[in-house]
Homo-oligomer: A and B are copies of this chain.
Amino acid sequence: MEVADAFKDLLTGFPTLEPGHVWLVGAGPGDPGLLTLHAFAAIRQADIIIHDSLIDDRILALAGGGARLENAGKRGGQPSAAQADISRRLVELARQGRRVLRLKGGDPFIFGRGGDEVMALATAGIPFRVVSGVTAGLAGLVSASIPTTLRGVNQAVILATGHGADQPGGLDWAALARTGQPLVLYMAMQNLDLIAEALIAGGLKPETPAAVIMSATTEDERILVANIRDIAAEARRQSVGAPAIVAVGAIVAARGQLLEIAARASALLVE
């Protein structure tokens, strides 16, 4: 595919990553095609890229030859300590005069501790910029052919994290259930039994359809559909686990209708 002059003109108009500045940029949900042009431009300009673990190699390969890559992935470590370490590292590199890119999965402000990082940068007097990315929850539903909003079905959608659902002071799942609106859950696999129980205790019908979208938008994507009462057990049985997005609500049933109509009319869904 040819790259238009209009594309180069567009890139030329984008902001410049200055030495001593830090950009927090969303890399999207996994599929490199869901990277934004701003993220692409940021990757091309950075001296150093502090990136999450789940960033695709084809995205990291876009970096300039002189750029250094640092994996800040927190898998298996102590999250809190590591988060403070990441913020400290960003400040340190900016003070060394580097062009610093903090490349985060999804959107930097959706359950990714991006708020903590900008507060740390602001406190240290480091100039920063935040660039949105496609968030995994919404992209996961698109990838699974679940219409996130559908006329006559829902007028809202709730993005929630399942992290900490086993701790006191967490989300009021019953109140979420009573809104009657669908849920899109991040980091919910570990506590999925608890969450499903709490939703049902709050009045959600046990037959409400749910879906787990594992490794959403990547070549490893797997989709499991079951009702909310059974979904956690079914996911264990089929070894469908983290990283995953969970969708709960009538919109999941619309997926079945869509696939059925498409199959009947021989309309394939292009992958």
Which A residues contact B (CB, under 8 angstroms)? 1-4, 6-15, 18, 21, 23, 28-29, 31-38, 40-41, 44-45, 58, 61-62, 64, 107-116, 118-119, 121-135, 138-139, 141-143, 145-151, 155-161, 163-164, 170-172, 175-176, 178-181, 217, 254, 257-258, 261-262, 265-271
Contact A33–B14 (Cβ < 8 Å): yes
Contact A37–B38 (Cβ < 8 Å): no
Give the distance in Å from the alpha carbon of A175 to the alpha carbon of B257 in the complex.
Answer: 29
Query: Residue A34 contacts which of B58, B62, B108, B132 (CB distance < 8 angstroms)?
Result: B132
Contact B33–A127 (Cβ < 8 Å): no
> How many Å from the CB of A143 to the closest CB on chain B?
8
Residue of B whose beta carbon sits closest to that of A35:
B37
Contact A270–B38 (Cβ < 8 Å): no
- B residues in contact with A126, CB < 8 Å: 267
Contact B265–A122 (Cβ < 8 Å): yes
Copies of this chain per assembly? 2
> How many Å from the CB of A209 to the closest CB on chain B?
16
Given A142-B107, A270-B15, the answer on whether A36 and B38 have CB atoms closer than 8 Å is no
> How many Å from the CB of A134 to the closest CB on chain B?
5
Can you list 19 residue pairs at the A/B interface with Cβ under 8 Å?
A: A1-B11, A1-B12, A7-B40, A13-B58, A21-B270, A31-B38, A34-B131, A109-B142, A109-B148, A109-B149, A116-B151, A122-B267, A123-B261, A124-B265, A129-B270, A130-B142, A158-B179, A175-B179, A176-B181
> How many Å from the CB of A187 to the closest CB on chain B?
10
Residue of B whose beta carbon sits closest to that of A111:
B149
- B residues in contact with A6, CB < 8 Å: 58, 61-62
